[in-house]
Amino acid sequence: MTWIRNNGIYAFFSRAALPSLALLLLFSLVASFSLGRYGLPVSSLGRALWEGVTGATSGDSIAQTVLFEIRLPRILAAVLTGGSMALAGASYQGMFKNPMVSPDILGASAGAGFGAALAILLSRTAAEIQIYAFLCGLGAVVLTMTIARSISRSESMTLVLVLTGMVVSTLFSSLISITKFVADPDNKLPAITFWLMGGLASVGKHDALLLLALSAAASLPLFLIRWKLNVLAFGDEEARALGIDVPHLRLLVILASTLLTAASVSLCGMVGWIGLVIPHMARLLVGPNFKTLLPASALLGATFLLWVDNAARCVFPVEIPLGILTSLVGAPFFLYLLMKGKKGWT
């Protein structure tokens, strides 16, 4: 007798879910291009897009500018950040064998936040703020790993990593507070506070392209080894006995996820919750197998943040910081997932 996958619980969804999610994202992209204060109906959207690609400059140059200089970078950044955070979150949840883990667990977000706050305090340019944030995000994770390694090289590594990550996160949070405390309350303090709340309003074309390059480079290895994350979920010893080189795989996952998180946070600020909530939602749709879970998380995260950002820029007369909205939407949604069922995580 052979095994035919015909009535598996996730079988239908795992076959239909990825194409459906991709279509949903595509639809959301088109919709997001037309949404906004400068109205771009889908018909003229097509023309502007065509002219922009072919280089013909006959028609509506305002539409061109809005589309390529403002909306495209912003939409690209929303999609990339949402996808990156969800991807990093799903990978970490597998590696740390814990569905309650989010991508900032090793201190990447807090570190990046401190870097940005410091750069604002030192009156740096926008580009320098990003560089400071990115480097401090990476630095925080390197610090976590160095401390964790000196504490333990044994099988309890993941636990030590999580605890050390909490310590390092707290450390950098206090450093952020110190920076705010000494900042000029008239201009720098509000700037720091707003940066930390997150937002995509200031994202330019070059920022978006840089983010694209970084997140593509960091996502690729995660996608390639994604099936092995399943094995890691059974614990380091079992994974080793099944033939996995656990220390190297763990290092790869941490590097890639940290790169994704630091790149996103340094561009968009502290946008929370996506890395925690979206993988849960994806798991409800396609099951826990990382082979489909990882792409599903990326697609869902991208779609989710795109719509949250659309709401941020369109719903209210004043733009709402993105970090506030993701938490406002994410927290109740997470509660709903918890109430809805155990299927996703027990």
Position among 30, 150, 217, 237 found at the interface with other proteins (CB under 8 A): 237
Tell me: does residue 15 bind other proteins (CB under 8 A): no
Instruction: Name the one range near other proteins by CB under 8 A: 46-54, 67-75, 90-98, 137-145.
Output: 90-98
Residue 90's φ and ψ, nearest 5 degrees, are: -60, -45
Identity of the residue, 188 or 283, whose beta carbon is nearer to other proteins in the bound complex: 283
Q: What type of residue is 252?
A: L
As a whole number of angstroms, the distance between CA 79 and CA 83 comes to 6
Position among 23, 56, 224, 338 found at the interface with other proteins (CB under 8 A): 224
As a whole number of angstroms, the distance between CA 41 and CA 276 comes to 35
Rg (CA), the chain: 21
Tell me: does residue 13 bind other proteins (CB under 8 A): no
Q: Between the CA atoms of 296, 302, 305 and 310, what dihedral angle is there, to the nearest 10 degrees?
A: -130
Tell me: does residue 149 bind other proteins (CB under 8 A): no
| Residue 317 DSSP class | S
Tell me: does residue 289 bind other proteins (CB under 8 A): yes
Tell me: does residue 152 bind other proteins (CB under 8 A): no
Count of chain residues binding other proteins (CB under 8 A): 42
Chain center to CA of 14: 23
Query: Helices in 243-289 by DSSP H: which ranges?
Result: 246-268, 274-286
On whether the CB atoms of residues 329 and 271 are closer than 8 A, the answer is no
Tell me: does residue 87 bind other proteins (CB under 8 A): no
Instruction: Map residues 181-220 to x or -, x wherever contact with other proteins holds by CB under 8 A.
Output: ----------------------------------------
Position among 113, 288, 295, 330 found at the interface with other proteins (CB under 8 A): 288
As a whole number of angstroms, the distance between CA 294 and CA 116 comes to 29
Which residues are near other proteins by CB under 8 A?
1-3, 5, 7-10, 93-94, 97-99, 155, 224-228, 230-231, 233-235, 237-238, 240-246, 283, 287-289, 291, 343-346
